[in-house]
Amino acid sequence: MQPEIICLGEGLIDITPRVSGTNILTSGEMLMTASGAPAIVAVALARLGTKAGFLGRVGADFFGYHIKAVLDKNGVDTRHLSLDPHAKTGLAFVNWDERGDAIYLFYRNPSADTLLAVENIDPGYISGARVLQFGSLLLATEPSKQASYRALNIAQAAGILLSYDLNLRLGAWENEAVARQGVSAPLEVANILKINRAELAFLSGETDPQAGTKKLWRDNFKLVVVTLDKEGSFYRTAHDWGYLPARVVEAVDTIGAGDAFMAGLLDGLRRGHFDFEDTALVRRACLQGGAAGALSVTRQGAIPALPSRQEVETFLGEGTDK
C-alpha cells in the first residue's frame, strides 16, 4: 500500500496517571500508551479513511514493538518504521498543571527516534505520497534533524505538499532562542501550517490570530490554521481568512487533541483534492478537524481516544458543513 499521507517523526510511549488529571507522583499508578504526535496523526488519518504511513525509528524493545503493533492494527503502513537494536524507545511522562494542560518530561537522551538517519529516508516512498506531514521535535537533535530535512527536500522536489504541525516542546531544545530558530526554519518550505495559540505568539509575537498569521505568511503557504481550544479555530489562505466555532464537549483527556485536529483537517482537504482556493472546502476541513479533536478529548489516552469516520460524521451531523 502506497500511503497518500506519510507522517514523519517520533514514535514514543506516553506514561500517564491511570486516572486522567491526577498526578503520577501522588497516585503512584501509571498507564502506558503508544504515542508521539506523528504516530497519533497517522492512526487518526487511517481511522478517518485516509491511507497513511509512518516514517520514523523506535527501539527494538517491547515499547517499540508495541508502537508498531498499534500502528499495524490500525492499518498504518509501517514498512518504513525502523527498529533500532541499540537504542531504546523514547518515553514521555505526562502530568497536568492547574489549568488542565499536559506537562511532558521526556526520556530521550538519546532515544531511537532521535537516531533516524538519512539512510532511513527512501526517496521513492516519499515521492509516491500526496502529503508529507511532520513536526518540530526531530529537528532538535541529530542525526534526526538531517534525516528530516532530507525527507523535506525530497518532498519539495517531487511537488509533494509539506504539512507542518509545530507541536512545540521547549524542553527538547538547548534554549528558547535555539528553539525559535529551529522551529521557524521549516516555515520557508511548508505549504500547510497548524499551530496553537501559544505557538502563534512564540513565532510571531502576536496573540491575535488575524494579525499573527498575516505576519507569519509566506509565499509558499497555502493554508495556516490556528487552533483556539474551546473557541474553535482560525484559518488563513492566500485569498481568505475566518473563524470557525467549536462544539462544547466534556473534556476527559486533552492529550493528542491537536493531532486529531491535524488528521481531521488533512483528511478533509484530501477529500476535496487539496483545492485551497475552495473556501467552502477549507472551512469544512477545519470543522472536521475540530470534530475529531473534540471527540478525542472525551475519552482517555491519545490513540485509544481517536474517533472513527462514522463518529466524526455523526458528531458533525447530517446536513451540516462536513
Q: What is the pLDDT of residue 119?
A: 97
Q: Is residue 161 domain-resident? A: yes
pLDDT at 65: 98
**Is residue 124 domain-resident?**
yes
DSSP code at position 68: H
Number of structural domains, the chain?
1
pLDDT tens string 137-179: 999 999 999 999 999 999 999 999 999 999 999 989 999 999 9
From the list 176, 221, 218, the residue with the least C-alpha distance to 201 is 176
Q: Rounded mean pLDDT of the chain?
A: 93
Considering Cα of 290, then 319, then 238, then 267, what sign does the dihedral take? positive
Please report whether residue 111 resides in a domain: yes
Q: What is the mean predicted confidence (pLDDT) over 46-59?
A: 98
- pLDDT (0 to 100) of residue 21: 65
| Of 296, 233, 300, residue with least CA distance to 48 | 296
pLDDT of residue 257: 94
**151 falls within a domain:** yes
Q: For residue range 230-256, list pLDDT tens digits in order.
A: 899 999 999 999 999 998 898 888 889
CATH code of the domain covering residue 288: 3.40.1190.20
Within-domain flag for 9: yes
Is 88 among the domain residues? yes
Percent of the chain with pLDDT over 70: 96
Predicted confidence at residue 100, as pLDDT, reads: 66
pLDDT at 29 > cutoff 80: no
Residue 251 pLDDT: 87
Mean pLDDT throughout 16-45? 85
Q: What is the DSSP letter of 77?
A: B
Where helices occur in the chain by DSSP H, the ranges are 24-27, 37-48, 62-73, 123-127, 144-158, 176-184, 197-204, 209-216, 257-271, 279-296, 309-316
Show Cβ contacts of residue 76 under 8 Å, excluding neighbours closer than 6 positions: 3, 39, 42, 43, 46, 52, 53, 54
The C-alpha atoms of residue 179 and residue 157 are separated, in whole angstroms, by 26
316 C-beta neighbours (distance < 10 Å), count? 18
Q: Which domain holds residue 56?
A: 5-316
- CB count in 10 Å sphere of residue 241: 17
Q: How many H-runs (helices) and E-runs (strands) does the chain carry?
A: 11, 13
* Cell digits of residue 206: 502576536
How is the beta sheet containing 223-227 ordered, strand by strand? 81-84, 52-59, 5-8, 131-134, 161-165, 192-196, 223-227, 233-236, 241-244
Q: Is 144 a member of any domain? A: yes
Segment (H or E) for 196 = strand 192-196
Tell me which of 292 and 21 has the higher pLDDT.
292
* Cα-Cα end-to-end distance for the chain: 27
321 lies in some domain:
no
Give the list of residues 6+ apart from residue 135 with CB closer than 8 angstroms, or none. 9, 10, 37, 38, 164, 165, 166, 167
